[in-house]
Amino acid sequence: MFALALAAGSIDECKADESDAAAWNPQNVPRFDNPTRATFREKVLRTSTPAVISGHLSRWPALAWDDEKLLSECGERLLAPDCDEEALSVHDSDARGRWVSMIKLAQSDRVRTLSDLLALIRTSVPGEGEEFEMRELGSERHRSVHPSALYLHDKPIDVLCPRLLDALRVPAYFPVDMLRQPGAQWARSYRHGCNASHGLGSKFNNVGHPSLFLGREGTRSGLHADGHSASFWMAVLRGKKRFRLVSPSDAYSFKPLDCKARRKKHPGEYCSKFNASLFDDVAVPDAVTIWEANVSAGEFIFIPERWAHEVVNLEESLAVSYNFVDDNNLVGHLQWLLFHLFHRDPDWQAASKSKEWRKFYTLLCSYLLDHSSGRFPMLTLYDFANSEKSVAPITWSQFMARNTPEGDPKYDAKRYEKEFYEEMRRPPFASPKDVERIVKEGMLPEILLAAREDLKGYEGKRLRVA
Ligand SMILES: O=C(O)CCC(=O)C(=O)O
């Protein structure tokens, strides 16, 4: 055993680590300079390896946004608009049972808009000046918060700053997102409660992703793995962030709170919450590798499905993140859905009345329906998975057109919905026993492979590659 000698309670300690790397031995996350799509697929996606990519975001208009531009476009936008109670978050080591060890805060009169937040971030000095009271979400409690600790964390860009969304692009390595497959009517309940009024949001019902992060030096997110077995990429627009990561199997060494090493029996289960920090002085078994990357403005990091990660902002940082499911993590995602439906909650009959259960079940049916009928967007997935053409980064509107049924010129909402409901009522997916059998017998990969075979005849028919 050796110990992580770094306590990252403050940014100075993080910086100290740069000159004291011998104290422990992180593995550097591999870096690539604008790799081809083929290289990225082979070396990163196919092997579920984290990676930092430089040289690929140069055409993003958002990289040229300075404070003046950000404030003129979105300075007066409310951090907590009517549809979303959460305004800001603060990290708290005592909140490790919670998602990302963060406390979510409602709006305060002191910080209502993006411009209020930026002003506070710029003028507050940790340990100096007054704290103010903010209400914790989900409780009537108020907590005293130092302005320097406020973190705009994972907030929907389409709601908070739609113009910024227009100035972002989608990296060419991630043309597909199966999470968009069920379309607007299903996506609506999927994440944040906001229905964006912006063009992109209203047409495609973007609901929450990509999301925005803004925090001063020293703000941080606790150790966690993202849900749904989704992979994600995070692009840094300004500043510098330090990531520490562990693979899904190594994650068991860090006091996981929501998994019980039963993964073989239940393939969809993995650890997502932890009572430990990779920036603290914790014991690390020899066989465990901690990965580390500093990601600077103009770069993005890719984090594969189920990898646990923890983040500290080394400088004031503005960043954008997007979670997705493509052909590399689709089986894992389906297993995760099944795990949540049938294993985590054995009393599924009772659970089936809950909104959450319904949502997962609907998603699952949607995937299986589209697989079985060879319908959009399996086709898109198939084409991209098999094309090594280098495509330029695309806008979010183009991305949504590719990845949602609404983007299909022949999309007929009523028909889609009708077919969907018919399919949901049809066996075998109406019976949990059948679905359980699919998982137990490990049939998911075969189903997906068969679906791909079926799709060969459709190749190229309705794909619009930028
Ligand atoms: O940048 C951060 O603070 C956390 C990002 C992250 O971990 C995530 O989006 O899952």
CA-CA distance, 193 to 270, in Å (whole number)? 26
Tell whether ligand 1 has an atom less than 6 A from the beta carbon of residue 155: no
Question: Nearest CA to 95 among 234, 259, 277?
Answer: 277
pLDDT at 382: 52
Q: What number of other Cβ atoms are within 10 A of residue 356's Cβ?
A: 12
Distance 191 CA to ligand 1 centre (A): 16
Of 330 and 194, the one with more pLDDT:
330
pLDDT at 455: 39
Considering the chain, what is the average pLDDT of its residues? 77
Q: Give the pLDDT mean for 36-61.
A: 92
- Residue nearest to ligand 1 atom 1, measured at CA: 311
pLDDT at 464: 27
Pairing, β 102-106 against β 86-91: antiparallel
In the chain, domain spans: 2-180+192-324, 330-458
CA-CA distance, 43 to 1, in Å (whole number)? 30
- Residue nearest to ligand 1 atom 10, measured at CA: 226
Q: How confident is the model at residue 433 (pLDDT cuts 50, 70, 90)?
A: low
Q: How many residues does the chain have?
A: 466
* Residues 6 or more apart whose Cβ sits within 8 Å of residue 174: 233, 322, 324, 326
- The predicted-structure confidence for 333-389, as pLDDT tens digits, reads as follows 877 877 776 666 555 555 555 666 666 666 666 666 565 555 555 545 555 555 555
* Cα dihedral 41, 46, 52, 55 in deg (nearest 10): 0
Q: Which amino acid appears at position 459 of this protein?
A: E
- Residue nearest to ligand 1 atom 3, measured at CA: 221
pLDDT at 462: 29
Q: Give the pLDDT mean for 212-239.
A: 95
pLDDT at 369: 58
Q: Which of 67-71, 123-127, 444-448 is most confident?
A: 67-71
Q: Give the pLDDT mean for 155-170.
A: 90
pLDDT at 351: 55
pLDDT above 60 (res 19)? no
CA-CA distance, 33 to 55, in Å (whole number)? 5
pLDDT at 384: 57
User: Is the four-CA dihedral 183, 186, 191, 192 of positive or negative sign?
Assistant: positive
Residue 136 DSSP one-character state: B
Give kind and range of the element (H or E) at residue 151: strand 151-156
Tell whether ligand 1 has an atom less than 6 A from the beta carbon of residue 221: yes
Q: Which atom of ligand 1 is closest in space to residue 100's alpha carbon? A: 7
> Quick check: helix, strand or coil at residue 187?
helix
End-to-end CA distance of the chain: 51
pLDDT above 70 (res 451)? no
Q: Which atom of ligand 1 is closest in space to residue 303's alpha carbon? A: 10
Tell whether ligand 1 has an atom less than 6 A from the beta carbon of residue 52: no
pLDDT above 80 (res 297)? yes
Distance 433 CA to ligand 1 centre (A): 37
Cross-strand bridge partners of residue 214: 152, 318
Cross-strand bridge partners of residue 220: 312
Ligand 1 pocket: which of 102, 192, 220, 232 to mutate (most atoms within 8 A of CB):
232
Distance 212 CA to ligand 1 centre (A): 10
- The predicted-structure confidence for 113-122, as pLDDT tens digits, reads as follows 999 999 999 9
Which letter, b or e, does each residue of 29-45 get, where b requires 16 or more Cβ atoms within 10 Å of its Cβ? beebeebebeebbeebb
pLDDT at 33: 97
- Residue nearest to ligand 1 atom 9, measured at CA: 321
Distance 328 CA to ligand 1 centre (A): 21
pLDDT at 224: 96
Distance 311 CA to ligand 1 centre (A): 6
Q: What are phi and psi of 25, to 5 degrees?
A: -130, 75
CA-CA distance, 134 to 132, in Å (whole number)? 7
Q: Which atom of ligand 1 is closest in space to residue 220's alpha carbon? A: 3
pLDDT at 368: 63
Q: How confident is the model at residue 186 (pLDDT cuts 50, 70, 90)?
A: low
CA-CA distance, 402 to 454, in Å (whole number)? 20
Tell whether ligand 1 has an atom less than 6 A from the beta carbon of residue 89: no
Tell whether ligand 1 has an atom less than 6 A from the beta carbon of residue 321: yes
Tell whether ligand 1 has an atom less than 6 A from the beta carbon of residue 319: yes
pTM over 0.75: yes
Residue 110 DSSP one-character state: T
pLDDT at 182: 67
Q: Which atom of ligand 1 is closest in space to residue 310's alpha carbon? A: 7
Cross-strand bridge partners of residue 145: 132
Q: How confident is the model at residue 134 (pLDDT cuts 50, 70, 90)?
A: very high
* Residues 6 or more apart whose Cβ sits within 8 Å of residue 263: 269, 270
Ligand 1 pocket: which of 102, 154, 274 to mutate (most atoms within 8 A of CB):
154
Least confident of 96-110, 190-204, 324-338: 190-204
- The predicted-structure confidence for 188-221, as pLDDT tens digits, reads as follows 544 455 655 444 444 555 456 789 999 999 999 9
pLDDT at 140: 82
Q: Which amino acid appears at position 427 of this protein?
A: P
Q: Which fold has domain 2-180+192-324?
A: Jelly Rolls (2.60.120)
CA-CA distance, 341 to 360, in Å (whole number)? 7
Q: Which amino acid appears at position 431 of this protein?
A: S
pLDDT above 60 (res 425)? no
Least confident of 9-18, 138-147, 247-256, 353-362: 9-18
Tell whether ligand 1 has an atom less than 6 A from the beta carbon of residue 311: yes
Q: Give the pLDDT mean for 122-127.
A: 90
Tokens (6 digits) for 125: 């000095």
Distance 153 CA to ligand 1 centre (A): 8
pLDDT above 80 (res 315)? yes
Per-position DSSP letters for 65-88, written without gaps between them:
--HHHHHHHHTT-BSS-TT--EEE
